[in-house]
Structure 1
């Protein structure tokens, strides 16, 4: 089957190679077509390509056969160059490394950050351990648990994605949570450092973290290695909501916020919750479209409510 490849979006004035023709087997997949295009345009690796047909802006999925899109001999496929790419796993490593580094530096180098040295309170010590543990857990999950449905993303997006973690979860939280205002000996540290309250909020945080890990393992087991297969998730947490991993994430940061009563933590919790709400609604709608037998009673993010 011969297909015409033309350029979509950007101006063609510097693209004299377009349009051009590639030849693929009749039973070829979208992935096969991308590799055929890359063979003719060396700079356009399969990861950089976004293929569409006609006026439809929905991208052709790599694993689908070309026949699914009614592509016949002589049809035209439009390609858009997504630019330099970076692996999603690498993106996750970068995102979570920022808060780890910032919390470590701000907690341990007080004189450079605050211009003085002081003894950390029990509250600050506990929060430091919990937050560092959270992001180290994230790094380990990235290495050993997650299976990514998309191999790469545009390189530029790594800066946008990292800003949330580096600025809000890293610099914002660390600077205010470890400041002299709640150091050992202050009235605020005494008020917030009740051993009972620290134990209660630590228990909630750890419960949420272990539950979050459980849901990530469930999602991993849905997709065989090397596959992008999608199935309805079931099991712990999924009987109530479509994205219990987000629910447990919100619960963990709500515990940190209640423990510290910090406006910095409130800001991070609010921004994170809004973002996860938007992702949850999108994922819930996607599940419902994709699976006709998707459980009707299951909510998106908040059990029995939303």
Structure 2
């Protein structure tokens, strides 16, 4: 039995003991977190423990998924451990599920039920007072192209919900609760509210009027069906890359490995490449609608940053075993 000193890092933690007695031979870091969680009343995921000697985070699992023993950390009698309250937490999986539900609700709602109200010239419609927002006295039925756009957009996010629930494996359990608002804003506002408002207008191609009439999906079946085919290819390819990533990390472990195979032999993050390709198909079918283009631009830049960061991490972690390549776009980026 040894005694470890416990000190708060940052703000004080109520009921945090100044020391804790452990059996060095049998105590796991998981049990250390559990005991401090019970003492302080904070959830397990809300606490972060670090070694006083070097500030490294005390993890609970090895890459193999096995428990970490306290004695493996090199802690001795009266060694110091810092405990930090990370604030209210929410599960990563839950955050993604909340993010994607917004567009799933908004697009069918806007197309099937709200069009007569959203685009009415009635003075009671607040949107009619917004400059350049398309409103009219007579709301025509939704076009085939608009119905296709609604189906493709909704199915994309249904697929994401499925992958979040059944496919993805996360290296961390939780994130700060306030992140849910920041993360959800991207999808609820850009791909949800904004796209829904400007894809199902009475004049569906107004926003993309610069697009040649002969190349608009409503006038050219080749563009419509070609766009749908491209979307299906991108979605299936994106799903395949997610299955590859899933296979690299056994359940319950934090193991990292270099992904190879379809897409990964060409770029570092083909899952991002196929994601953008799928949205380019939607943009093509929409006639170059600016709201879709804005969502692609913001999401594409963000994913490019993530891809470059991941590529640097692969080179640092795996060294010469990792073959450097473009991160998202073959031969370009």
TM over 0.5: yes
CA deviations on 1:141-164 (whole Å, 9 max, x unpaired) are 122211222122222211111111
Question: Structure 2: any 5+ residue segments left out of the alignment?
Answer: 63-67, 121-137
Pairing partner for 1:227 from 253, 256, 262: 253
Deviations 1:248-294 (A, max 9, x none): 10111122223320111111011101111111122222222222343
Residue aligning to 1:3: 4
More off after superposition, 156-165 vs 220-229: 220-229
- Report the CA distance shift for 1:55/1:262 in structure 2 as closer, same or farther (over 3 A): farther
Is the 8 Å Cα contact of residues 31 and 46 (structure 1) preserved in structure 2? Answer: no
SS at match of 1:4: strand
1:169, 1:268 within 8 Å by CA — same for their partners in 2? yes
* Structure 2 residue 107 is matched with structure 1 residue 103: yes
Does the 8 A contact of 1:287 with 1:294 survive in 2?
A: no
Structure possessing the higher relative contact order (Cα contacts under 8 Å, 6 or more residues apart) = 2
Q: Distance in 2 between matches of 1:69 and 1:273?
A: 41
Partner of 1:278: 305
More displaced, 212-221 or 123-132? 123-132
Q: Which residue of the other structure, out of 126, 134, 137, is the alignment partner of 2:148?
A: 126
TM-score scaled by length of structure 1:
0.89
Matched, 1:208 2:208: no
Instruction: Verify the 8 A CA contact 2:149 2:282 in the aligned structure 1.
Output: yes
1:220 aligned counterpart, secondary structure? helix
Match in the other structure for 2:38 = 39
State the 1:219 CA deviation: 1.0
Any stretches of 5+ residues in structure 1 without a counterpart?
none
- When the two structures are aligned, how many residues end up with a matched partner? 302
1:253 aligns with 2:279: yes
The CA distance in 2 between the partners of 1:67 and 1:305, in whole Å, is 49
User: Which one has the largest radius of gyration?
Assistant: 2
Q: How big is the shift at 1:22? A: 4.4
Q: What residue number does 1:88 align with?
A: 92
Question: Which one is further off, 211-220 or 150-159?
Answer: 150-159
Distance 1:22 1:62, change over 3 A: same
CA distance, structure 1, for counterparts of residue 111 and residue 38 of structure 2: 51
Tell me if structure 1 keeps the 8 A contact 2:282–2:292.
yes
The residue aligned with 1:113 is 118
